[in-house]
Homo-oligomer: A and B are copies of this chain.
Amino acid sequence: MTARIYTIGILGGTGNLGNALAARWAKAGHRVILGSRDAAKARQRAEEMSTTLGTEIRFGSNQDTAEQAEIIVLAVPFANQTDAIEEVRPALAGKILLDTTVPLLPPKVMRVQMPAEGSAAQRAQLVAGENVRVVSAFHNVAAHKLASAHKLEGDVLVFGDDLEARKVVVELANATGLRGLHAGALANSVAAEALTSVLIFMNKHYAADGAGIRITGELDAGKLG
């Protein structure tokens, strides 16, 4: 089976997580567009990445990026989540919106504080509207580990009510070198989002560098993506 190539637009594509995902997906052969509200920054980063990776990384405004992409990745800070979705909403209809935001509310980032909607993912669905295929993932991955050339360990829990959309994101998680796992309905996203505060706590308590999670137990290898 040949893996499908997707056109992936990353809002917040010049941020740490967005940029690290962009590089890993580009290396895996996907077409990547870096979206940013700062056009000069997006251009500069895209040019640097194109040179380093030897493949063209495109860039654009958030709006252009969302229009041109099949899959739109939200990699902005939680505080900008709602604005970013609203800015591109007309371009999202029928597409996959991959939300990576985590409701960290400084200064208490080691304490779980979920939004009234239940989770960031559920809020994304409410703001985007019902015709958008919202999937959430990549909550528990340290951006600096994803950005490094090291072999990655850890699992990416993927949540979504649209099974086909979730499958695509499991594929994209696997394409980064991590292991993507189906983790159920979008309402379950609270598990991984809350875990981020726990991992930040553990990084401090155990002087760890980028704690993550791994699912144990004998998962049927034939069912893994």
Asked if A9 is at the interface of the complex by the 8 Å CB criterion, the answer is: no
Within A170-225, the residues touching B (CB, 8 Å) are 181-185, 187-188, 190-192, 194-195, 197-199, 201-203, 205-220, 223-224
Asked if A154 is at the interface of the complex by the 8 Å CB criterion, the answer is: yes
Q: How far is the CA of A167 from the CA of B101 in the complex (A)?
A: 32
From known contacts A215-B213, A217-B211, infer whether A205 and B182 are also in contact, taking CB-CB under 8 Å: yes
Pick the contact of A183 from B182, B191, B201, B215 — CB < 8 Å?
B201
Chain B residues lying within 8 Å of A118, measured Cβ to Cβ, are 114
Chain B residues lying within 8 Å of A114, measured Cβ to Cβ, are 118, 190
Q: What is the oligomeric copy number?
A: 2
Asked if A88 is at the interface of the complex by the 8 Å CB criterion, the answer is: no
Chain B residues lying within 8 Å of A219, measured Cβ to Cβ, are 202, 206-208, 211
From known contacts A182-B202, A201-B183, A215-B213, infer whether A208 and B220 are also in contact, taking CB-CB under 8 Å: yes
Residue contact A223 to B207, C-beta cutoff 8 Å: yes
The size bracket of the interface on A is: 35 or more
Chain B residues lying within 8 Å of A64, measured Cβ to Cβ, are none
Report the nearest B residue to A154, measured CB to CB: B216
Q: How far is the CA of A173 from the CA of B183 in the complex (A)?
A: 26
From known contacts A201-B182, A202-B215, A217-B208, infer whether A112 and B190 are also in contact, taking CB-CB under 8 Å: yes
Chain B residues lying within 8 Å of A215, measured Cβ to Cβ, are 199, 202, 211-214
A19-37 CB contact bits vs B (8 Å, 1 = yes)? 0000000000000000000
Chain B residues lying within 8 Å of A210, measured Cβ to Cβ, are 217
Chain B residues lying within 8 Å of A212, measured Cβ to Cβ, are 215-217
Within A107-129, the residues touching B (CB, 8 Å) are 110-114, 118
Closest 3 CB pairs of A and B: A191-B194, A211-B217, A184-B201
In the assembled complex, 6 residue pairs joining A and B whose CB atoms fall closer than 8 Å, in A order, are: A112-B187, A182-B205, A182-B206, A190-B190, A207-B220, A213-B213
